Amino acid sequence: PTKKKKKNGRLRSPTSPVSDPKLRLLLPRLHQQTFRSERLRFAKIYLQRVLRQWRFAIPAPSEKIAMYSPAFYAACTAGGIFSCGLTHMAVTPLDLVKCNMQINPAKYKSITSGFGVLLKEQGAKGFFRGWVPTLLGYSAQGACKFGFYEFFKKYYSDMAGPEFATKYKTLIYLAGSASAEVIADVALCPLEAVKVRVQTQPGFARGLSDGFPKFVKAEGFAGLYKGLVPLWGRQIPYTMMKFASFETIVELIYKHAIPAPKEQCSKNLQLGVSFAGGYIAGVFCAIVSHPADNLVSFLNNAKGATAGGIYLLLQAVKQLGLWGLFTRGLPLRIVMIGTLTGAQWGIYDAFKVFVGL
């Protein structure tokens, strides 16, 4: 038998790896590899458990939410927050270039040159300038838009009665969407004003936290709403077109492009149709609302402008010109609004399926 050497009162085998200097150098690495493999194994087990839990949590709710109940309006409001806030924040770089093309067309001559100017002057970080007021403003607008739309649609349908509500449902949808947008823009307008000022005047402020008090100090609280009337002029036609055209386009897609009825299509296909219909509707929305969008950008960028001044509106039209009023920044806005509207309908419909609507 191999004799064991006694060291520090303990018996140790001469063939022990620790006693070998070469193996002693490798031992920490072996321990590290063993620890890493064990850590990966436990992480894999944990991930499998999490996925098993999610597998039981994700399926559609067993109980449907009652139509026009408080839970129904709350769900529509939450869906509006997600669909509008997240999508507008995601296209902040496009919105930034679009606003600067409207305000300073001599410097921002095209989409590509606009991105180049921003990258050169502000760096990659500058592409998301104003994302906080964008997220908060359009989240508030989306909550009011979708929540109040469902409320006014029900209210006007009850006023008209079952017969007329069915016969003139498109008019009811238009009236409901317009009424909802009036309220939604009151929530959006202050944050939109700060957003445009931050995006089009470098050095004015870093974002909402310092831009909002600086804006109020310079122009007062009334200055936050100086672009409200043009904002209504932009958003009300946009929202009416958004809701009315979307329903018609989706019906045409299912009628002429897809051989199976909607009820027989998979959820993924239905969401794809919602995105496609929303994108096409967004193109029409952009064209209809673009002149007012130019006015909103002009007014919110003008220093010391008074709220609702007719003279200022005339000055804006004179400076932009009729052709510029309808076309300046339009191609980029078509891309942006088409993507936004398509994504909004896709997210909104997916959220409704998730909560049981």
Q: Judge whether residue 6 has pLDDT over 60.
A: no
Domain count for the chain, please give it: 2
280 assigned to some structural domain: yes
Are residues 106 and 43 located together in one domain of the fold? no
Please check whether residues 161 and 43 belong to one and the same domain.
no
- pLDDT tens-place string over residues 312-322: 777 778 888 88
Query: Are 41 and 81 contained in the same domain?
Result: no
Banded model confidence at residue 35, pLDDT cuts 50, 70, 90: low
Enclosing domain of residue 214: 68-355
Compute the residue count for the chain: 357
Separation of alpha carbons 226 and 52, rounded Å: 53
Q: Are 83 and 48 found together in one domain?
A: no
Separation between Cα atoms, residue 202 and residue 205, nearest integer Å: 7
Q: Are residues 49 and 87 in the same domain?
A: no
Residue 10 lies in a domain: no
CA angle, residues 32, 38, 43, in degrees to nearest 5 = 125
Least reliable range by pLDDT among 25-34, 108-117, 125-134, 185-194:
25-34
State pLDDT tens for residues 40-97.
666 666 555 644 554 433 344 556 788 899 999 999 999 999 999 999 999 899 889 9
- If pLDDT is split at 50, 70 and 90, which confidence band does 239 have? very high
Residues 122 and 29 in one domain: no
Residue type, 122: Q
State the first-to-last Cα distance of the chain, in angstroms, to the nearest integer: 79
Instruction: Report the amino acid identity of residue 79.
Output: G
Region of poorest pLDDT, from 215-224, 226-235, 297-306, 323-332 = 297-306
Residues 228 and 117 in one domain: yes
Instruction: Identify the pLDDT of residue 58.
Output: 37
Tell me, yes or no, whether 100 and 180 share the same domain: yes
Higher pLDDT, 293 or 136: 136
Query: For the segment 12-28, what is each residue's pLDDT rounded down to a tens digit?
Result: 545 454 455 655 565 56
Cα separation, 287 vs 132, in Å, equals 27
The C-alpha atoms of residue 277 and residue 251 are separated, in whole angstroms, by 9
Angle subtended at Cα 9 by Cα 7 and Cα 14, rounded to the nearest 5 degrees:
30
pLDDT at residue 55 in the model:
43
* β-pairing verdict for 10-12 and 5-7: antiparallel
> CA angle, corner 316, sides to 310 and 219, nearest 5?
70
Is residue 345 domain-resident? yes
Burial 237-256 (b: 16+ CB within 10 A, else e): bbbbbbbbbbeebbeebbee
Look at residue 304 in the predicted model and tell me its pLDDT.
Answer: 56
> Quick one: pLDDT at residue 67?
87
pLDDT at site 29: 60
Q: The domain that contains 97 carries what CATH number?
A: 1.50.40.10
What was the pLDDT predicted at 236?
94
> Mean of the per-residue pLDDT values for the chain?
82
What sections of the chain are H helices per DSSP? Answer: 21-57, 70-80, 86-90, 92-103, 111-122, 131-167, 169-200, 208-223, 228-256, 267-301, 310-327, 330-355
Q: Answer whether residue 113 is part of any domain.
A: yes
Band the pLDDT of 221: cuts 50, 70, 90. very high
Q: Do 241 and 188 fall into the same domain?
A: yes
Asked if 51 and 72 sit in the same domain, the reply is no
- 356: amino acid identity, one letter: G
Asked if the model's pLDDT at residue 34 lies above 70, the reply is no
Is the same domain home to 76 and 115?
yes
Q: Is the dihedral of CA 97, 98, 104, 105 positive or negative?
A: positive
Residue 192 above 90 pLDDT? yes
The reported pLDDT for the residue numbered 8 is 52
In a domain, 6, yes or no: no
- String of DSSP letters for 182-206: HHHHHHHHHHHHHHHHHHHSTTS-S
